[in-house]
A and B are shown apart, each in its own frame.
Chain A
């Protein structure tokens, strides 16, 4: 079963406790100045954004079919069976294709390091494996962030929307975005109003490149026969021309 996180923007009070818990879990510094940064970065893997009176949390979406893992030339990013998309810094060569490919602009880079790594939320995979909630879930004082099985959280989200149709925008962000994600959002307003990218394709992104990559064996086999055949014909023609020239 896939683990997931449900974030309910209507419940969030913007206390940023999740930010602090995340920094502590990663061993990153956290202070007032960092708390005021409203953008994911290599030292701040989750952010509570303020949009007027509403809040919105940003973190890795842990896509069901992650573009980042599909584009990584060395397989440093992997989608685990449990749900989190995890990163192996020992493999990473720093091509930053994951950053380019991510539809949610999540991966961040340690630009100022001499031996930099990519950084992103890993959904506290070691805690999840032990059956514990993520650090951000555990610390949330109002239950705006919850974690659990994706199916159960989807049912919970639908239940909340159905129970209070006037207080919720009637959709779940992450249900179909990029082919479905393990982070789900519900909100009082359309998602673009809380800073989410609603322009994301509704199907899995890796299919877009695989469609071309799967042709590689065909190109190689057909191409080598074709080019070899053309060479054989032109070579034969030259040989015949030479032999005829000699005969005269």
Chain B
């Protein structure tokens, strides 16, 4: 399999280096605590592990619920071919978020506490419940793939029986916690830089999560078509690109409307780090939005892929800005992640890619499905194959 890549040994080397540094950082985390592995302080208690691993991790996995809603609830069935990869990405994403939490929590042995010690006034409590339940939903949504692989028909019928309530629960749980990750920051109005603090944070987090979910689906379809030498569903991905462009333009319009309503647009005239990081974030989101409105861009696999990558990076910039940049201003201190924080984060991403690859190679993720996930009576969607040179 791997012989196909001329650069594979380089990638394997990078992968090994990341995993080794991550393993050493894990050892340090266990024996020397958060103080020994992070640059966090009393004034800056949340860092890269929250801003990237949790905020970005959950957001980048949003393709799962977006496509489940599209294909099974709204029945736009032509998106069927990208549904399973999206569910797999989401399932892995959430599992890795839990792994990241084990690093970030001061007492990872008490990860289960919110499930028995309730505080319904806490956004974090709501997020904890939603993430737990939604990871279970994703596991159940992924199970048919395993059952198909081994030809277990009985459990397959059983899981189809509960698929509709399961899908609806999944979409609702995602709606709640994707927006709640934004609500987490509503309680610190005086600490956050006004370019990012807004009462609309929950809605903005939700909208951008849907956008990045679509971008990630384009991203992984492109990569898997190369890695597994399979056809790229270009017309399908191009139409997703158009939806993405519409969605992101609504998002950007609302962002600026909100800034204008709060009267903070004037802050953009200040020559501060915050201004430049804000400009970077908006540019990474606005440029692909404009480009994706052009049909010629959408129909070129490379250009479409580049736009999706830009949206993903713009999204990451947004979450890092909310989680780090905006809070740094009001904290009276500086924060730059320690090498071990970066090593753990990179390892988690690398492991995510590796597991995705192994599962995609061994389970019916991209193959035409023998049994359709949720509705057995559904007709097999037409597939448009475009070979990529």
Interface residues of B in 171-195 (CB under 8 A from A): 171-172, 175-176, 179-180, 183-184, 186-191
A211→B179 CA distance, assembly (Å): 13
B41 interface residue per 8 A CB criterion: yes
B42 interface residue per 8 A CB criterion: yes
B42 touches A71 (CB 8 A): no
B142 interface residue per 8 A CB criterion: no
Given A101-B188, A224-B168, A224-B172, A73–B202 Cβ distance below 8 Å?
no
Minimum C-beta distance from B267 to chain A (A): 16
B75 touches A97 (CB 8 A): no
B122 nearest CB neighbor, chain A only: A73
Given A75-B119, A113-B33, A231-B168, A216–B187 Cβ distance below 8 Å?
no
Interface residues of A in 100-116 (CB under 8 A from B): 100-101, 103, 105, 107-109, 111-116
B122 touches A70 (CB 8 A): yes
A213 touches B121 (CB 8 A): yes
A140 interface residue per 8 A CB criterion: no
A33 interface residue per 8 A CB criterion: no
Which one of B105-113, B347-355, B358-366 contacts A? B105-113
A-side contacts of B119, CB under 8 Å: 70, 72-75
A-side contacts of B117, CB under 8 Å: 74-76, 91
A113→B107 CA distance, assembly (Å): 10
A206 interface residue per 8 A CB criterion: yes
B45 interface residue per 8 A CB criterion: yes
B interface SS class: helix
Minimum C-beta distance from B262 to chain A (A): 15
A53→B104 CA distance, assembly (Å): 42
B-side contacts of A219, CB under 8 Å: 172, 175-176
Interface residues of B in 335-389 (CB under 8 A from A): 375, 377-379
Count A interface residues, CB 8 Å. 61
A205 interface residue per 8 A CB criterion: yes
B168 nearest CB neighbor, chain A only: A227
A242 touches B377 (CB 8 A): yes
B306 interface residue per 8 A CB criterion: no
Given A74-B117, A112-B33, A228-B168, A206–B111 Cβ distance below 8 Å?
no
A93 touches B111 (CB 8 A): yes
A-side contacts of B278, CB under 8 Å: none
A-side contacts of B33, CB under 8 Å: 111-114, 116
B243 interface residue per 8 A CB criterion: no
List, sorted by A's number, 30 A–B pairs whose CB atoms are closer than 8 Å.
Answer: A40-B42, A70-B121, A73-B125, A74-B110, A74-B113, A74-B119, A75-B117, A76-B117, A91-B110, A92-B107, A95-B124, A105-B332, A111-B34, A111-B35, A112-B32, A114-B31, A208-B189, A209-B123, A213-B121, A213-B126, A216-B126, A216-B176, A224-B168, A224-B172, A228-B168, A231-B73, A231-B168, A234-B74, A235-B375, A238-B377
A108 contacts which of B42, B73, B122 (Cβ < 8 Å)? B42
Minimum C-beta distance from A27 to chain B (A): 20
A74 touches B40 (CB 8 A): no
B-side contacts of A82, CB under 8 Å: none
Minimum C-beta distance from A59 to chain B (A): 14
Minimum C-beta distance from B121 to chain A (A): 5
A116 touches B34 (CB 8 A): yes
A212 interface residue per 8 A CB criterion: yes
A189→B283 CA distance, assembly (Å): 45
B114 interface residue per 8 A CB criterion: yes
A-side contacts of B111, CB under 8 Å: 93
A70 touches B34 (CB 8 A): no
A237 interface residue per 8 A CB criterion: yes
Given A70-B121, A111-B35, A227-B168, A209–B183 Cβ distance below 8 Å?
yes
Given A75-B119, A223-B175, A103–B114 Cβ distance below 8 Å?
no
Q: What is the 8 Å Cβ interface bit string for chain A, positions 197-235, against chain B (1 contact, 0 not)?
A: 101110001101111110010011001100110110011
B45 touches A100 (CB 8 A): yes
A175 interface residue per 8 A CB criterion: no
A-side contacts of B164, CB under 8 Å: 228, 231
A64 interface residue per 8 A CB criterion: no
A103 touches B191 (CB 8 A): yes
B106 touches A91 (CB 8 A): no
Minimum C-beta distance from B325 to chain A (A): 15
A227 touches B114 (CB 8 A): no
Minimum C-beta distance from B58 to chain A (A): 15
A96 contacts which of B46, B168, B190 (Cβ < 8 Å)? B46
Minimum C-beta distance from A234 to chain B (A): 4
B186 touches A100 (CB 8 A): no
A97 contacts which of B72, B113, B120, B184 (Cβ < 8 Å)? B184
Minimum C-beta distance from A206 to chain B (A): 6
B118 interface residue per 8 A CB criterion: yes
B-side contacts of A95, CB under 8 Å: 104-106, 124
A213 touches B183 (CB 8 A): yes
A154 interface residue per 8 A CB criterion: no
